[in-house]
Amino acid sequence: MEPDDPRIRAIVKAVASALREQLPAVAADVEQAIVDAIPDLAGDDAAALRAGIGDSVDAVLRVLAEDSSPEAPPAAIEDAQRFAQRGVPAVVLIRAYRVGQARFLALCMDQLLGQTDGDGVEVQASRAMVAAASQYSDHVVEKVVSAYEEHRDAWVRDRSAVLAMRIRAVLRGDAVDISATERTLGYRFDRDHQALVLWVDDHELDAHARMRRVVRALGDFAGDGGPLVVPLDESTMWAWLPVASSVLAGDELAVAVKAEPSVIAAVGEPVRGLEGFRRSHRQATDARGVALAAGPARMTITPFADVAPISMLCRDLEAARDWVHETLGELAIESARNEGLRETALVFLQTGGSYTATAEQLFLHRNTAQYRVRKAEEARGRPLRDGRLDVELALLACRWLKGSVLRPPAP
């Protein structure tokens, strides 16, 4: 008889319907088989694992009873994501499904045997074959997937090392075969490039995946081909985006990074050609220096276009701190009140000294903007327009470098 034979379908539905009536017990049986085979799988998430297994058993029984299309239950997807965050290897997850499948099929065979007249020798034989095949698959899949993961990890490490070596040679300006390098990298130099340096502060195993997601999202905005991505270590990555025409806007950068808030990005400006490839990377590296100097209070995104003059101050932070204090006076004291005054003063200078434009940009009443500017001048001890360029640069340094250039409040 073929699987679509009505008699077979009737038997399958009868077995599935009977098991659905015992769903909690069936799910618990399958869960116990998985936990017995892989004791560490549940960990502190036994309740979540139980929910995932229960939903999976219910889903497969529904497929058998109703002849519906198979879909992965949300709880099962959440289990997989949680195991990934815990660093559980894929082979363990695959084995859990193998063990669960074997136990589930055994329960199906038991139910079928109970519904069959006679000695049930055919069912017993089928059960023995399923058990043997499942045991074989469980053993072989574990070995094969482990070999795959080991080889792939080694291959990725080796390839990353080769890419990093080639990239460093290009960045140093070494005499290299450009055509051969482009083929190795899968990336052309004869276009506009926007470089990024990305990093994370944690040491989770999925750091590279998170950074790559940000690069892919930015690449979608840039829209001129695939990016070049070079992992440097477990928590740092270089990337270049081929850009069509203009620099990525701040809101585009924010959208890309928002989905991965743990990723910090420093961004160069788009520059054309091989020298542009190098120059944009130098800019991104300088922007990263600003972010690192700011410490934990840094921005998530640091575009070089916003911090170009600040990056030079980072080469001597002690001198920069003294200069900021001399330029801003008591406005350089670290406090929430002064932070608001500095931001208002900076926007005031950037808008050409317009109270109206300042109020509009900061969503303030014009009188409030005027009041804050006056208080900023009182804290400084002189008008903002005195030494205007120095004041604007010092205020920018306070915005981006935070406590690295601010004075602590008096005790």
> pLDDT tens digit string along 153-194?
666 666 778 888 889 999 999 999 999 999 988 899 999 999
pLDDT at 8 (0 to 100): 74
**What CATH number labels 316-404?**
1.10.10.2840
Contact 124, 113 (CB under 8 A): yes
| Burial state string for 97-133 with b = 16 or more CB within 10 A and e = fewer than 16 | ebbbbbbbbbbbbebbbeeeeeebeebeebbeebeee
How far is it, in rounded angstroms, from Cα 363 to Cα 369?
A: 9
Contact 293, 397 (CB under 8 A): no
Give 189-244 pLDDT, tens digit per residue: 999 999 999 999 887 778 888 999 889 888 777 666 789 999 888 899 999 999 87
3-state secondary structure of 272: strand
pLDDT at 153 (0 to 100): 67
CATH 3.30.70.270 for the 191-299 domain, yes or no: yes
pLDDT at 327 (0 to 100): 97
How far is it, in rounded angstroms, from Cα 314 to Cα 397?
A: 9
Residues of the chain with pLDDT under 50: 1-2
Whether 191-299 and 316-404 share one fold: the answer is: no
Residues in Cβ contact with 167 at an 8 Å cutoff, skipping those fewer than 6 apart: 185, 230, 238
pLDDT at 151 (0 to 100): 64
Residue ranges of domains in the chain:
6-149, 191-299, 316-404
